[in-house]
Amino acid sequence: MRQDTIRLPGPAVAPDPGPGAVRPGDLTPELIATDWWSDDAVSRAGIPVVDVPFVSVGGGIGSFVTVDYLRICGVPTSAIRVLTQLESPWESYEYLTRVSQIPRGERLRSDSASCPDNIWGFPSYAVREALATRSPRSLWNVLVEPILADYYTPKAGQAFESMEREHDRIDYASTVVKGQVRMVRRRVGGGYFTILIPAEGTSPTRRVAYRSRYVHVAVGYPGLKFLPDLMEYRERHRDYGSVVNAYEPHEQIYQRLAAAPGTVLVRGGGIVASRVLQRLIDDRDARGLQTQILHVFRTFVTGAHGPHVWMRRRGGDGWAYQGFNYPKSVWGGQLKARVRKLEGQERAALYAQFGGTNTPIRRNWQEQLRRGRRERWYHAFQGEITGLTPGPSGTVHAALRTANGPQDVQVTAVIDCTGLEADIREHRVLADLLDHGGAGRNPLGRLDVERSFEVRGTRSEPGRMYASGSATNGGYFPGVDTFLGLQIAAQEIADDLEALGFCARLGPVRSTHQWWLWARGRKI
């Protein structure tokens, strides 16, 4: 435990740092205020410097996929450092999927060929599943989808296990340095300084600077933002158990409904709402529960919708249906081509057109909800929650504004399956890039990147700074926050780095050879 514990609020505040407040190895006011750092200023501050050509900040799946690509392009582990707080690249993703009711045994919403462990996408998850289970079922599925069957999607566990194998194969672990990145600043003379707060006890100083020619920022979602009404209810009534967001652990609600019959209010129309409903109904079926489900949509979709006949999305019963979170053509079709050419408001408008909350149409979900409507234990309606107050004996009183006027309901729990993504400024590294790194925002307000995923405005010749993942959503390539999007970003970055002479070209010979090594599980 650090010695610099401070107390908030109350009479005792921070211990007086005394006149020598800036300890050696700490950021000096000079550094904090300067956009471009000289080697001299960093050494004057007493911050130790580690030289490495390529630094990736984040350490999630974005970093993993990029490092995987570079390793396949011949970059040794000694030339790469991944600065992260995560135990494994999939740790954060797995947590979010698990709590939002996609444990390892359940299926993700991702295409068969989007394999973060395999840059070629071959063999796809469906092929590998068919081989592992010795059953052609998944192959048949991908052949006839989406007409005769739902889209094939891999099980979460399959994705994590295959990533783990690739993680070991490319010796990812030896690139990882644990700690928290505080900022990335440009270096006078080219390249960047990345300030790391190392894990406790691993460094004599509080900060370590990584001096690199290239920096890759993949810090993922800045975070979720629970809606204000939810936060206010919890803050005011100190009840964290009855009003929950679906992206946080909320097993207690299923336990309570199993212990005693109750009504639950679900809000939202995305895939998480679908998964939560499935869990509620699965529990209902398996344990013979009498759970009543109220489902409130802010926008109640009653049918197919879209600007014209070639750009329509199916819908009904409140939901907007789409196989994946974007139309498939954003990854390789006409939408990808169109967005690549658009700038400013035009790009934002097209994003708005194909964006929006939606969920895949899955036959088992359809069956469950149809049964619920028929047996009158599932009620979906348009409305908004206007107030939440504690009700008698552990219930929650929810005031709703609906199409039929205000309504009050008494429920056991409220599961909020909506959520806003926080602004990129909420992430301190991104905020620092905006303030001191020269980075800007794209038409959607996220980090503005070039077609090569270089962060626009941050160049420090001959260095480059790249970014991928959710923080760059809104750029020339849509779908960046998906497995395939991360791989496409990694490909663009590797191409750019190859032109700069940092890695080898992935031509037909190298690609075939590397695929062969991958298929045989040979370490590189």
> Which of the residues 110 through 169 are near other proteins (CB under 8 A)?
none
Q: Which one of 104, 178, 182, 379 is in contact with other proteins (CB under 8 A)?
A: 182
Q: 71-86 burial, b for 16+ CB within 10 Å, e for fewer?
A: bbbbbebebbbbbbeb
Interaction between residue 384 and other proteins (CB under 8 A): no
* Contact present, 175 and 88 (Cβ < 8 Å): no
| Cβ proximity to other proteins, 419 vs 475, nearer residue | 419
> Which of the residues 58 through 97 are near other proteins (CB under 8 A)?
85, 91-92, 95
Q: At its nearest, how many Å lie between other proteins and the CB of residue 244?
A: 7
Interaction between residue 392 and other proteins (CB under 8 A): no
Contact region for other proteins (CB under 8 A) — 14-22, 154-162, 352-360, 503-511? 14-22
| Cβ proximity to other proteins, 214 vs 233, nearer residue | 233
Q: At its nearest, how many Å lie between other proteins and the CB of residue 8?
A: 5
Structure tokens that stand for 184 in this block: 């990335």
Contact region for other proteins (CB under 8 A) — 251-259, 331-339, 381-389, 457-465? 251-259
- Compute the distance between CA of residue 61 and CA of residue 84 in angstroms, rounded to an integer: 11
Contact region for other proteins (CB under 8 A) — 170-178, 247-255, 264-272, 291-299? 247-255
| Cβ proximity to other proteins, 19 vs 501, nearer residue | 19
Structure tokens that stand for 498 in this block: 């190859």
Contact region for other proteins (CB under 8 A) — 70-78, 149-157, 254-262, 303-311? 254-262
Structure tokens that stand for 30 in this block: 């000079």
| Cβ proximity to other proteins, 164 vs 248, nearer residue | 248
| Cβ proximity to other proteins, 13 vs 349, nearer residue | 13
Closest CA to 271 of 254, 240, 246: 246
Q: At its nearest, how many Å lie between other proteins and the CB of residue 197?
A: 6
* Contact present, 153 and 108 (Cβ < 8 Å): yes
Q: Which one of 144, 231, 349, 499 is in contact with other proteins (CB under 8 A)?
A: 231
| Cβ proximity to other proteins, 290 vs 404, nearer residue | 290
Q: Could you tell me which residues come within 8 angstroms of residue 285 by beta carbon, excluding any fewer than 6 positions away?
A: none
Interaction between residue 10 and other proteins (CB under 8 A): yes
Interaction between residue 197 and other proteins (CB under 8 A): yes
Interaction between residue 236 and other proteins (CB under 8 A): yes
Q: At its nearest, how many Å lie between other proteins and the CB of residue 102?
A: 15
Q: At its nearest, how many Å lie between other proteins and the CB of residue 36?
A: 15
Q: Is 411 left (phi over 0), alpha (psi -120 to 50) or beta?
A: beta
> Which of the residues 202 through 221 are near other proteins (CB under 8 A)?
220-221
| Cβ proximity to other proteins, 225 vs 305, nearer residue | 225
> Which of the residues 427 through 446 are near other proteins (CB under 8 A)?
427-428, 431, 435
Q: Which one of 103, 136, 249, 445 is in contact with other proteins (CB under 8 A)?
A: 249
Contact region for other proteins (CB under 8 A) — 126-134, 256-264, 314-322, 493-501? 256-264
Q: Which one of 2, 374, 376, 520 is in contact with other proteins (CB under 8 A)?
A: 2
Q: What secondary structure does DSSP assign to 355-383, as a single string?
A: -S--B---HHHHHHHHHHHHHT-EEEEEE
| Cβ proximity to other proteins, 70 vs 447, nearer residue | 447
> End-to-end CA distance of the chain, in Å?
38
Q: At its nearest, how many Å lie between other proteins and the CB of residue 301?
A: 25
Interaction between residue 390 and other proteins (CB under 8 A): no
* Contact present, 470 and 509 (Cβ < 8 Å): no
Q: At its nearest, how many Å lie between other proteins and the CB of residue 132?
A: 23
Q: Give SS3 for 470.
A: helix
- Compute the distance between CA of residue 165 and CA of residue 161 in angstroms, rounded to an integer: 6
Q: What secondary structure does DSSP assign to 228-274, as a single string?
A: HHHHHHHHHH---SSEEETTS--HHHHHHHHHS--EEEEE--SHHHH
- Compute the distance between CA of residue 492 and CA of residue 486 in angstroms, rounded to an integer: 10
Q: Which one of 70, 99, 280, 480 is in contact with other proteins (CB under 8 A)?
A: 99
Q: Could you tell me which residues come within 8 angstroms of residue 219 by beta carbon, excluding any fewer than 6 positions away?
A: 57, 58, 60, 427, 429, 430, 469, 471
| Cβ proximity to other proteins, 112 vs 468, nearer residue | 468
- Compute the distance between CA of residue 329 and CA of residue 31 in angstroms, rounded to an integer: 45
| Cβ proximity to other proteins, 111 vs 432, nearer residue | 432
In 412-478, at which residue ranges do the beta strands (DSSP E only) sit?
413-416, 420-421, 464-467
Interaction between residue 288 and other proteins (CB under 8 A): no
Q: Which one of 262, 323, 469, 478 is in contact with other proteins (CB under 8 A)?
A: 262
> Which of the residues 401 through 420 are near other proteins (CB under 8 A)?
419-420
* Contact present, 244 and 255 (Cβ < 8 Å): no
Interaction between residue 394 and other proteins (CB under 8 A): yes
Residue matched to tokens 């130790």: 48
Q: What secondary structure does DSSP assign to 275-332, as a single string?
A: HHHHHHHHHHHHHT---EEEEEESS-B-S-EEEETTEEEEEETBEEE-SSSS-THHHH
